[in-house]
């Protein structure tokens, strides 16, 4: 019997090649895998509370085996010749869409993504985007049993201040994981800030942390901010629209992510990279207006208001 991992290895050797257009060739040169950022290397080496090293290795093996099997099965499926962009809905022949591959460092196997020729967004991998919301949430739950993110407080605070907040305002940190000190820090400074984190294994208990969407919908905010969130959203247009409904009159959103370029592609949880025209398309489709776009190295932050 040949195990899926071995089969997958053989397939990579003999059949899986990287196809790039000129734009993607330039993007590929920006890959960050050789120079791994602290938060990623820390996540790989760290062990979540309550899980010893042997349990961690077993869980990693189970996750890896699952995705090796998915890759093995995908190699045997008939490839459709027509593709549709999940952001702008452009439809065209498969060959019109640039193709780029990477390997997931979190046991997620081969990552195949495509770039839309109409709006520039890079999207995929398909195997993640085909998951139901419940299945995607479950994959996160398993992921966070092993890995933890690095401290994102500094970037979140920068995104918050790009809202140009007022002391009497109420603000929401969307995707406030357990590794962030942002809520505590800003509240100590006198800001009325809450956090929203729907994934229980990535969250922490706290008076100002919201995990229920039902509770969230009863509230209004003067501003919503996030860091490293947009690239994870399965339906970014819909979810940004839903966020905007939580804004009070004149409210603003501030979303920061290095995935406004093709960076940190080596995780299966990054579903979108909003390059070029796609930022404007995303805002317009969500009924939002781009007020500003701030770039400072890998800190990239889009400021949005209701159009």
pLDDT of residue 178: 67
CATH number, span 153-306: 3.40.50.150
State whether residue 102 is helix, strand or coil.
Answer: strand
Question: What's the pLDDT band for 91 if we cut at 50, 70, 90?
Answer: very high
Residues 105-126 pLDDT 10s: 999 999 999 999 999 999 999 9
Which residues, in sequence order, are bridge partners of residue 247? 221
Residues 139-175 pLDDT 10s: 988 888 888 777 889 999 999 999 999 999 999 999 8
Mean pLDDT of 76-84: 87
Task: Give the rounded percent of residues in the chain with a pLDDT score beyond 70.
Answer: 80
Mean pLDDT of 235-242: 96
Mean pLDDT of 198-217: 76
Strand 299-306 and strand 288-296: the pairing is: antiparallel
Question: What's the pLDDT band for 29 if we cut at 50, 70, 90?
Answer: very low
Residues 263-272 pLDDT 10s: 999 999 999 9
Cβ distance 112 to 126 under 8 Å? Answer: yes
Going by the DSSP 8-state scheme, the letter that residue 56 receives in this structure is H
Task: Give the rounded percent of residues in the chain with a pLDDT score beyond 90.
Answer: 62
Computed over every residue of the chain, the mean pLDDT equals 83
Residue 61 has pLDDT above 90, yes or no: no
pLDDT of residue 6: 41
Asked whether the CA dihedral 292, 288, 122, 21 is positive or negative, the reply is: negative
d(CA 162, CA 160): 5
Domain boundaries, the chain: 4-146, 153-306
Residue 235 has pLDDT above 90, yes or no: yes
Structure-model confidence comparison of residues 37 and 145, the more confident one: 145
Strand 221-227 and strand 247-256: the pairing is: parallel
Which residues, in sequence order, are bridge partners of residue 226? 255
Cβ distance 195 to 210 under 8 Å? Answer: yes
- Phi, psi angles (nearest 5°) of residue 267: -130, 135
d(CA 133, CA 73): 21
d(CA 55, CA 148): 15
- Phi, psi angles (nearest 5°) of residue 36: -70, 130
Question: What's the pLDDT band for 304 if we cut at 50, 70, 90?
Answer: very high
List Cα–Cα distances, 136 to 100, 199, 200, 237, in angstroms.
Answer: 22, 11, 14, 18
Residue 198 has pLDDT above 60, yes or no: yes
Where does the chain have alpha helices with state H? Answer: 4-14, 22-28, 38-45, 53-74, 126-129, 133-146, 153-161, 182-188, 213-216, 236-244, 278-285
d(CA 46, CA 60): 13
pLDDT of residue 271: 98
């Amino acid at each position: 019997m040949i195990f899926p991992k071995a089969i997958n290895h053989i397939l990579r050797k003999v059949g899986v090649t990287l196809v790039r257009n000129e734009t993607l060739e330039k993007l590929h040169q920006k890959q960050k895998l050789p120079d791994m950022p602290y938060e990623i290397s820390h996540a790989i080496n760290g062990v979540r509370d309550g899980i010893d090293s042997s349990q961690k290795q077993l869980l990693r093996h189970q996750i890896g085996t699952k995705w090796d099997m998915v890759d093995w099965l995908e190699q045997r499926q008939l490839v459709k010749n027509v593709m549709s962009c999940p952001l702008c809905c452009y439809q065209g022949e498969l060959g019109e869409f640039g193709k780029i591959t990477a390997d997931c460092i979190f046991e997620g196997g081969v990552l195949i993504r495509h770039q839309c020729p109409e709006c520039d967004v890079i999207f995929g991998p398909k195997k993640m985007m085909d998951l139901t919301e419940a299945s995607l949430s479950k994959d996160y739950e398993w992921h966070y049993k092993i890995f933890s993110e690095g401290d994102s407080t500094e970037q979140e605070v920068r995104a918050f201040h790009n809202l140009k907040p007022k002391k009497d305002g109420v603000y929401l940190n969307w995707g406030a994981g357990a590794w962030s000190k942002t809520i505590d820090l800003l509240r100590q400074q006198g800001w009325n800030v809450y956090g929203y984190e729907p994934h229980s294994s990535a969250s922490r208990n706290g008076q100002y942390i919201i995990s229920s969407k039902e509770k969230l919908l009863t509230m209004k905010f003067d501003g919503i901010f996030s860091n490293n969130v947009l690239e994870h959203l399965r339906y970014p247009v819909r979810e940004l629209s839903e966020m905007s409904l939580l804004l009070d009159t004149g409210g603003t959103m501030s979303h920061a992510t290095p995935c406004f370029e093709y960076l940190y592609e080596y995780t299966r949880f990054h579903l979108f990279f909003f390059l070029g025209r796609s930022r404007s398309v995303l805002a317009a489709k969500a009924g939002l207006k781009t007020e500003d776009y701030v770039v400072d190295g890998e800190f990239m932050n889009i400021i949005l208001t209701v159009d």
